[in-house]
């Protein structure tokens, strides 16, 4: 069977409520679909790339699923020191390319498979059946273990979201009980509500698209000694096309000969689009999911241009430690 492109939720800011909706934890990991057919099991990610060798814990499907043939949808996660999902840990497993190293990394980074849907069961496609029916079947056929769990549901989305804030987790996904599974589509019968943090950063450079308008900003923040450190690049957000064009004109007037960052940003290395350095005087408000281990922003998006002075953009001291 050819691997499928999984259904995706639409991002919203308001948590849907009412008896038509249930909510689940949005696990911060790697989307993995399990295909078990005629005693053979394969794993694929959302981009239909094979992951069977990366996660050998999941290959013996009979150990955790009562089915002769099944397609499961879920998220592979790894837990950090505080017991919550750590995306950077799971990427140590997902990024393996030398598969002789899998046993070593497997011991160092245990994973958990959080299953939230079932698309095919013993010769029957379930994608046209309501989510509530699919989930009831999923709970019957999965045998939970230390490695495999069924994602729990609740009718109280706001309370679950509040718990995600308490435990500093990514967010929730709300699903209509009557929603069908739309392969390869992003549909608003599934809605993700993600927790984002805010900061204000300094623009130290930019790259241009083919249309001559900025397609990425290089951002930085200062340490206590006054050095500007690169924290990532961003090319998406709430700015309109007219605002991007206006910002392009403004930054072109601030052209600088030398980079303002203390270290060369990865975006400026060979093979990347040419970077135009600017005087670090313009600041922007940025939403982001979290800080990576490499002291950069994950999933940043520009919210607005601000009047906050660059000197107020101070990098947290704990992020400066190696």
Q: What is the pLDDT of residue 322?
A: 52
Residues 46 and 79 in one domain: yes
Q: Which helix (H) or strand (E) holds 182?
A: none
Structure confidence at residue 87 as a pLDDT band (50, 70, 90): confident
In a domain, 3, yes or no: no
Q: What is the pLDDT of residue 212?
A: 93
Residue pair 23/175 in contact by the 8 Å Cβ criterion: yes
Residues 15 and 159 in one domain: yes
CA angle in degrees (0–180, nearest 5) for 117-50-41: 60
Final residue of a structural domain among 169, 194, 219? 194
Is residue 314 predicted with pLDDT exceeding 80?
yes
Write the DSSP string, 286-300: EEESEE-TTS-EES-
Final residue of a structural domain among 163, 194, 225? 194
Residues 141 and 228 in one domain: no
Q: What is the pLDDT of residue 271?
A: 55
What is the extent of the structural domain holding 169? 8-194
Residues 157 and 204 in one domain: no
In a domain, 228, yes or no: yes
Residues 217 and 110 in one domain: no
User: pLDDT over 90 for what percent of the chain?
Assistant: 74
CB-based burial label for 146 (10 Å; 0-12, 13-18, 19+): exposed
Residue pair 285/302 in contact by the 8 Å Cβ criterion: yes
* Mean pLDDT score, 235-263: 94
Task: Report the chain's mean pLDDT, rounded to a whole number.
Answer: 92
Residues 157 and 226 in one domain: no
In a domain, 69, yes or no: yes
Task: Mention every residue, 6+ apart, whose C-beta is less than 8 A from residue 90.
Answer: 29, 30, 76, 77, 78, 109, 111
User: What is the domain count for the chain?
Assistant: 2
Is residue 317 predicted with pLDDT exceeding 80?
no
With CA atoms as reference, report the closest residue to 305 among 242, 227, 257: 242
In a domain, 2, yes or no: no
In a domain, 1, yes or no: no
Distance CA 298, CA 231 (A): 10
Structure confidence at residue 268 as a pLDDT band (50, 70, 90): low
* Mean pLDDT score, 95-117: 95
Q: Which residues sit opposite 72 in a β-bridge? A: 34, 118
Final residue of a structural domain among 145, 175, 194? 194
Compute CA distances 66 → 4, 31, 44, 133, 146, whole Å: 22, 22, 20, 17, 17
Residue pair 196/171 in contact by the 8 Å Cβ criterion: no
Structure confidence at residue 137 as a pLDDT band (50, 70, 90): very high
CATH code of the domain containing 260 = 2.40.50.140
Q: pTM for the whole thing?
A: 0.73
Q: Is the dihedral of CA 76, 79, 80, 84 positive or negative?
A: positive
Distance CA 90, CA 78 (A): 5
Which stretches within 174-238 are classed as H helix? Answer: none
With CA atoms as reference, report the closest residue to 4 among 36, 30, 34, 25: 34
In a domain, 259, yes or no: yes
User: pLDDT over 70 for what percent of the chain?
Assistant: 96
Residues 61 and 107 in one domain: yes
Q: Which helix (H) or strand (E) holds 35?
A: strand 30-37
Q: Which residues sit opposite 117 in a β-bridge? A: 73
Q: What is the pLDDT of residue 125?
A: 98
Ranges 38-47, 143-152, 166-175, 291-300: which has the least confidence? 291-300
- Residues 213-237 pLDDT 10s: 999 999 999 998 899 999 999 998 8
């Amino acid at each position: 069977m050819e691997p499928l492109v999984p259904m995706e939720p639409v991002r919203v800011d308001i948590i849907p409520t009412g008896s038509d909706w249930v909510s689940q934890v949005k696990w911060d990991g790697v989307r993995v679909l399990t295909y078990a057919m005629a005693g053979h099991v394969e794993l694929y990610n959302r981009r239909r790339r094979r992951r069977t060798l990366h996660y050998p814990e999941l290959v013996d499907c009979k150990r955790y699923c009562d089915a002769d043939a099944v397609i499961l949808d879920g998220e592979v996660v790894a837990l950090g020191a505080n017991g919550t999902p750590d995306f950077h840990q799971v990427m140590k497993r997902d990024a393996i390319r030398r598969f002789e190293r899998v046993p070593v990394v497997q011991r160092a980074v245990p994973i958990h498979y959080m299953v939230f849907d079932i698309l095919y069961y013993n010769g029957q496609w379930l994608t046209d059946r309501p989510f509530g029916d699919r989930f009831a079947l999923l709970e019957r056929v999965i045998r939970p273990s230390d490695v495999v769990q069924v994602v729990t549901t609740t009718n109280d989305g706001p309370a679950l979201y509040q718990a995600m804030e308490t435990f500093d987790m990514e967010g929730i996904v709300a699903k209509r009980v009557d929603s069908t599974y739309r392969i390869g589509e992003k549909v608003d019968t599934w809605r993700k509500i993600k927790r984002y943090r805010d900061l204000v950063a300094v623009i130290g450079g930019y790259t241009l698209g083919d249309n001559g308008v900025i397609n990425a900003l290089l951002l930085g923040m200062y340490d206590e000694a006054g050095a500007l450190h690169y924290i990532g690049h961003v090319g998406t957000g709430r700015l309109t096309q007219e605002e991007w064009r206006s910002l392009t004109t403004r930054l072109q007037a601030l052209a600088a000969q030398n980079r303002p960052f203390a270290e060369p940003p990865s975006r400026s290395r060979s093979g990347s689009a040419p970077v135009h350095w600017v005087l670090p005087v313009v600041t922007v408000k940025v939403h982001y999911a979290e800080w990576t281990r490499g002291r950069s922003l994950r999933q940043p998006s520009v919210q607005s241009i601000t009047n906050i002075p660059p000197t107020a953009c101070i990098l947290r001291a704990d992020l400066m430690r190696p």
